[in-house]
Structure 1
Amino acid sequence: MILVETDSGEEWDSRTDWDNLAERSVRAAVASSRHAGLIDSPLAIEVSVKFTDDDEVKTLNAAYRGKDRPTNVLSFPMMEPEMLGQLSGAGELLLGDVVLARGVCAAEAADKAVPVETHAAHLIVHGTLHLLGYDHETSDGDADHMEATEREALASLGISDPYAITEV
């Protein structure tokens, strides 16, 4: 079973149910992934989603990735992806943390002409897939596979393909 814990900073609009958005987005990512069986696992698998500000993400990005700037989403897996296929039994496991930066997320949403909630859902799906071992930086094939999985997860949430090229 998938458990989603959230922490929403005050800079994120309180009119939006970020807990629900995170829960639905994480579940969609897992269900569309090669690890879809985790959804019905007797093992309690937790994903933590933190909605924070650009400064905190900049600090984390500098500390863990050596990049002194904010980014839209960071993922911190707590286990090696190859171990996911070997999980069995009951108990609890922290899959990892997904952290979103409000300012970057909002700016990207505006550039894409989509609501912040839609872009945040995409970033949560993207970050969750990283926790599950997906990578878009190792090869074009891996990037294509990750994007296809994102498209499937987002479609299950009623969100259009964020990678579609629109003719102008």
Structure 2
Amino acid sequence: MIDPVDREVRGRILARRSDENATMSAMFAPRRVGAVLLTAALLVGLTSCRDSANFVMADGTYVLLAQPGDEGDEAQVQGTVTVIGSCLGIDDAIAIWPAETTIVDTDPFTIQVPDVGEVSVGDQVDGAGGGATMDDLPDGVVVPDDCDATSVVTFRAG
């Protein structure tokens, strides 16, 4: 049989531990909630940018992306990768890269192009695609205002 004094002491110890746990949980709960909300907001923001505007961006440079499954024309496209205003281009035209293109680095600005590999500003590229004017952009392509060019070119492995 447990002594009534021991029961009382045990009860106080358990109550104190419970209070300490509640205090610690209350102390860290706002940080956890904040971190979860921030992560969720960033994921939603990044997803919505890529889906609605059809571009990826890093260090102030836009990489315009074609719609998934859009193969473009069959013309030969070759030239030097450049930055035109704030957009990655080929020679003097803004380039529209395959949908799965990703940014690899920003110094020098480098992208990973499906079936081509890594391509950096200053590199020569040779592939397939076609050209268009700013008034005749491929479906779903939005050119940011600070990309200063009068023409666009689609590019993919040739």
Give the TM interval when normalised to the shorter protein.
Answer: under 0.3
Greater helix content: 1
Q: What TM-score do you get using the length of structure 1 for normalisation?
A: 0.22
Q: Which has the larger radius of gyration?
A: 2
The structure showing larger relative contact order (alpha-carbon pairs under 8 Å, at least 6 residues apart) is 1
